[in-house]
Structure formats: C-alpha cells, structure tokens
Amino acid sequence: MASSRAQSTYEVVTEAVEEKVEQVKPVSLWKNAWRRLLRNKLAVAGGSVVIFFALLAIFADFVAPYHYTTVNFGRNYEFPSREFPMGSDHLGRDVLSRIIYGARVSMTVGFVAEFIVLSIGVPIGAMAGYYGGKVDMGLMRIVDVMYAFPRLLFVILIMSMLGRGLLNIFIAIGLTGWVRIARLTRAQILSLKEREFCEAARAAGAGNFAIVARHLLPNSLTPIIVSLTFGIPEAIFTEAALSFIGVGISPPTPSWGQMVGENQQFIRSYWYLCVFPAVGIATIMLAFTFLGDGLRDALDPKLNE
Amino acid sequence: MIYYIIRRILWMVPTLLAMALITFTIMHLTPGSPLDPVADNANPLSPEAQRNMAKEYGLDKPVWQQFFIFLYKAVQGDFGKSYVYKNRTVNEIIRQTFPVSLHLGSMALVVAIICGLTLGIFAAVNQNGTVDYLCSLTAMFSVALPNFVVAVFFIILFAFLLQLVPTGGWDAPRQWILPTITLALGPMAVIARYTRSTMIDFIRSDFVRTARAKGLHERRVILVHVLKNAMIPVLTIIGPLFAGVGTGSFFVETIYRVPGLGRFFVESMTGRDYPMIMAVVLLYGVFLAIMNLIVDLLYGVLDPRIRYS
C-alpha cells in the first residue's frame, strides 16, 4: 500500500518535470544574459549613452561645428549663443566642438587602456593561479607592494615623470591596473583547476596551455567581464583626473578633465567653460556605471537572489 | 596583542622600503632632471650652473649611492631641502601643510562614516522601499562622479546660486563645509552600499529571529544585534578608504584652494622635486599602514572571536 503510493507520487513528479523540460527552450548563457540586460532600464539607458558618445567620438570630424584648434580672433570668452552653443574659451575656440573631440580621448582611454590592463593582468593571473609555487609567491609579493601604494598616487607619479601624452597614459594605467585583474583571474583559476572537468581534460591528454586557454579561462570569463565594465569608467576617470591636474593629455588636444582643470579658476566669471565638460564626465561615468551594474546582474543572476 | 602590533610595525619596514625603491627608480629612470625641468615656468640653466647645482644637491653621485644617502638621512628624519621652494626644507613644508590635509581628511571621514552608516541602515531596514531606492541612487551617483566634477557642481549650486558658503579658502569654519562634503561623498557611498548589503544578510539570520522572538524592541534588534555584527565587514572597507581620501584631497584641495599637502604634492611631482616626492610618498605609506593597523585592531574589539597572535 505504502509503496504503491510512493510509486504514484514518483510518477506524478516525473511527469511534471518532463512537462517543464518540454516547455523551456534551451537558452545559452549569453542569450539569457542579454535578455536580462535588456529588461534593466537603467542599463539600457547607460548603454545607449555609451553608444552615443562612441559615435560622437568616431564621427567628431563631421559632427563638430569647428575643429578643436580653430581660433576665432576677438571672439574669446563669449557666453553660449547660437554661434557657440556652449560658449567660447580664452582663445575664442568653440567649447562644444572641443567637448565633442574630447569624447574621443575619453573613449579611447577607456577601451584601449582597459584592453592593455586585461592583456597584462589575465595571463599573469592565469599563470600564477595555474602553476602556483614560486611564480605565485613572487606575484603575490608584487601585489602586496602595489596595494600599499594608492593607485592614483602611483599614476600621477608615473605621468609627471614620463610627461604628458596619450601613450604615457596607457603606460601608466597599464602598469598600475593589471594587479587587481591578475588577482581576480588567479582566484578563479585556483578554484577551477581542482574541478573534475579539468581533470577530465588532462586525462584526455590536453596540454597545460590548452587546459588554461580552452577550459579554465572561458569558465572564469564572467567575473573578468564584470571587472572590465568597472575598469573602463575607472580608466576614463583616471585620464580626466590626470588631465585636471595638468599631467594627462597635452594641449591643444582637448580632454574633458583638462577643460575643467584649466577653467576651474574662472568658475565665477565664465561658469560655462568648466560646467559643460564636467557634465560630460559625469554623464559618461554614470552611463558606464549603470551599464556595468546591469551587466553584472545579468551575467551573475545568483547575486540578485 | 603587543607582539602582534610590534610584528605589524616591523612588517611596515620592507613595504616602505619597496615603496621608496619603486618611487626612486621611477624618478631616476625616466627622462628629464630637476635641473632641467619641463615645468612651464622653469628657467633654462647653463651647463656650468647645472653642474654646480648637481653638486649642491648631491645629484652628481651614482644613483645607488644617492638612494643610500637618502635612506641614511630619512631614517634620521631629514628629508633635505625642497628643489622648488629653495629656501625651505621638506620637513618645514610638511609641518605646515600636512595638519591642514589631516584636518580636512578626518572631518571628511567622520562625515562619511556617520552618513554612510545611517544611509545604509535606513536602506537595509526598508529593503526595496522608496528610502532604499533613493539611498542606492545617491550611492551610485556618489561613487560614479569624480570629486572634482562634484566640486564644480557644488560651487555653482551652493556658492553662486544659493550663496550659502564661500567658494574656497580655509580660514573660517564656513569654508570647511564644501571641501569636507565633496571629499566625504565617495567614501560615504561605499560605506552605505556595504552596510546595506551586510545588514540585509544579518537581518535574515537566526540570532536576529531569536532576538525578535524574545520580545526585544525592533530598534534594539537593529542597532545592537544587527549593526554590531554588520560592522565587521564594513570595517574592512574603511581601511582602503583612507587611501581614497588621501589621494582625493589633491583635487579637492586644488579646486577649493585649501593650503594642504595635496596641492604641494602635485606641484612637486611636475617640478621633479625629488626630496619632496620621496617624503610625501613615504608619508602616505606610513599613514596608510598605521590606519590599516588600527582597523585590524578594531576587528578584535567588535569580534572577540578574533585573536591576535
């Protein structure tokens, strides 16, 4: 009696499960994440702003009313008007055009610098995590020292010694930024390399490189992507901060941070000179943050529960 | 406990040495020299004058020798003369400006901790309510916006439009308000976020259910049982925040014209003021290490399970 009842419940349960399995179509991780991302309004707004600024940066030559070096004699320090929608600076250069070209610097720094950080940090972290031992020890000692050094302090030091310029900004951010991503990758690899699938790959005859590149790295991709989406605004912030104190982008190339820094002393008389670039920095930072938060939630649904 | 503190202080020595070595190497490996600075207002010097200056500052010796001379003097507390402010020693400059930065930084941290905790607690108690939503929005804005951008908006809003406070300076307490709030915003947001998430974890735990079941007032449950436990993870985040406040002060001090160390630091870097750079980097290093030690000791106060050995 009792056993037949158990039998019947069992059957009912299996039927229900089978029904469910039939209803849900198989969805890949990426498709699923993409769908979740689209449902997040803030993230979509952030993403659209990022795309907008990226397009602005690419097509700056066609969008901007003037070139960023065009000097209009006798038209300096003009308030926003139809001709200069955001006013003109001390040389009579159109502020709007300089802001449009400034998006170029921000976007380039954001993506290229973070790509450099990634291509230094991931291999080092993967090596330390996979091989362990002395490689790992050495890396962790370097990481300890770098953590004692406030990052911004280090970046300012490198920049003021190397001199201004976009290339030097890449060097400075690359040299200081890899530490965190290396640590993250190391932690991921450390926990993954003991898993069964890794053992299976080794048993099937895969070499060390293949195991890391084909099995371990793809499985630790989500946290790396999440840290990437927060690394990009950090790189943009670093460039703006460096240019603000005068050790970032060299003039006449416009950068938003530099425009705020150069004109903050005139804030009382010519507010528009530093307010518009400040709004630019604020917008791009917020857009990346919203997008990053959305991506993290979409890629790692466990966090939301 | 005493042994723990002594060991931690001894561990600071290799870290500081490494910091000094890295800074020294970067300064001397990169092209340029303090005698021929790239600063905007620098005068070009004749080769002869450059040689004399190099002798005066000891820059003619081999680099490794310079490093050991620096270490030997630094251990005795002598950081030499500033290259940029020629008749002042580095110690004089630091003695004048560091108290101002320390004052600004500690006010900012106190504000950040008090406001951050309050925001976090309110957000956690009203989880997913309007207050929570507003709190996380404020936190998001404060984390995302660089403090010099916030400073520009604050000056426009509070100094020009509302005319509540002056735009800058450091003579009267009224002038302290804007720099303090600007510097406090970032750390405040981080503390608020962290407090919220750790408090939410603890609110669901068994001992809180017990506390409620035995009839404790809700306020007592939250403030004593939940907050005390939630403080431990929050403390871990406060240590690194000191670094943020320290470097953040460069920008806040520049934009509000605060006569602190942050402004001098940037000037000394662009002017290749070697003695000044070394002194400031080491000062930050020591300061951060001590603050981290204090934070680690505070864990033990909050959580008696932690033993120092």
pLDDT in tens, B27-67: 887 777 776 655 555 566 677 777 777 777 777 777 788 88
Task: Return the closest-CA partner of residue A42 out of B235, B136, B265, B263.
Answer: B136
From B169's Cα to the closest Cα of chain A, the distance in A is 13
Taking the C-alpha atoms of residue A90 and residue A77, their distance in angstroms, rounded to an integer, is 5
Query: Which pLDDT score, from 0 to 100, does residue B207 have?
Result: 86
B152 and A274 in contact by Cβ < 8 A?
yes
From A290's Cα to the closest Cα of chain B, the distance in A is 8
Query: Which pLDDT score, from 0 to 100, does residue B166 have?
Result: 79
Rounded to an integer, the average pLDDT of A160-184 is 87
Res A8 pLDDT > 60: no
Helix (H, G, I), strand (E, B) or coil at B242: helix
Measured between CA atoms, the residue of chain B closest to residue A143 is B15
Nearest CB to B146: which of A148, A267, A281?
A281
* CB of B245 closer than 8 Å to CB of B109: yes
In 3-state terms, chain B is what percent helix, strand and coil (to 5)? Answer: 75, 0, 25
* CB of A260 closer than 8 Å to CB of A237: no
Q: What is the DSSP letter of A26?
A: P
Express each pLDDT in B162-207 by its tens digit: 888 777 778 878 888 889 999 998 889 888 888 888 888 888 888 8
Query: Which band of pLDDT confidence, cut at 50, 70 and 90, is reported for residue A1?
Result: very low
Rounded to an integer, the average pLDDT of B206-215 is 87
A286 and B144 in contact by Cβ < 8 A?
yes
Rounded to an integer, the average pLDDT of B116-139 is 86
Query: Which band of pLDDT confidence, cut at 50, 70 and 90, is reported for residue A50?
Result: very high
Measured between CA atoms, the residue of chain A closest to residue B239 is A148
Query: Which pLDDT score, from 0 to 100, does residue A116 have?
Result: 93
Task: Return the closest-CA partner of residue B185 out of B244, B239, B229.
Answer: B244
What is the average pLDDT score of chain B? 82
Task: Return the closest-CA partner of residue B234 out of B148, B126, B121.
Answer: B121
Mark out the alpha helices in chain A (DSSP H runs): 2-23, 29-39, 41-58, 60-63, 95-108, 114-131, 133-148, 151-162, 166-192, 196-203, 208-210, 217-219, 221-244, 256-263, 272-299
Task: Return the closest-CA partner of residue B198 out of B245, B239, B235, B243.
Answer: B235
Express each pLDDT in A103-125 by its tens digit: 988 999 999 999 999 999 999 88
Task: Return the closest-CA partner of residue B83 out of B251, B257, B278, B260.
Answer: B278
Q: First CA to last CA across chain A, in angstroms? A: 41
B251 and A245 in contact by Cβ < 8 A?
yes
Task: Return the closest-CA partner of residue B246 out of B274, B270, B271, B282.
Answer: B282
Among A34-48, A177-191, B161-175, which stretch is predicted with the lowest mean pLDDT? Answer: B161-175
Residue A144, Cα to own-chain centre: how many angstroms?
Answer: 23
Nearest CB to A153: which of B38, B151, B247?
B247
Rounded to an integer, the average pLDDT of A36-56 is 89
Interface size between A and B, measured as CB pairs under 8 A: 119
Express each pLDDT in A251-293 by its tens digit: 888 889 888 888 888 877 888 888 888 899 999 999 988 888 8
- Token pair listed for B17: 């040495």
Express each pLDDT in B214-252 by its tens digit: 888 888 888 888 888 888 878 878 877 877 787 778 888
- Token pair listed for A120: 């230094």
ipTM computed for the complex: 0.81
* CB of A212 closer than 8 Å to CB of A189: yes
Taking the C-alpha atoms of residue A181 and residue A183, their distance in angstroms, rounded to an integer, is 5
Query: Which pLDDT score, from 0 to 100, does residue B156 have?
Result: 86
Query: Which pLDDT score, from 0 to 100, does residue B37 have?
Result: 54
B270 and A264 in contact by Cβ < 8 A?
no
CA angle B14/B100/B79 to nearest 5° reads 40
Query: Which pLDDT score, from 0 to 100, does residue A305 have?
Result: 38
A264 and B288 in contact by Cβ < 8 A?
no
Res A24 pLDDT > 70: no
Res B111 pLDDT > 90: yes
Query: Which pLDDT score, from 0 to 100, does residue A153 have?
Result: 83
Res A19 pLDDT > 60: no
Sorted by sequence, the CB contacts under 8 Å of residue B169 that are 6+ apart come out as B175, B256, B257, B258
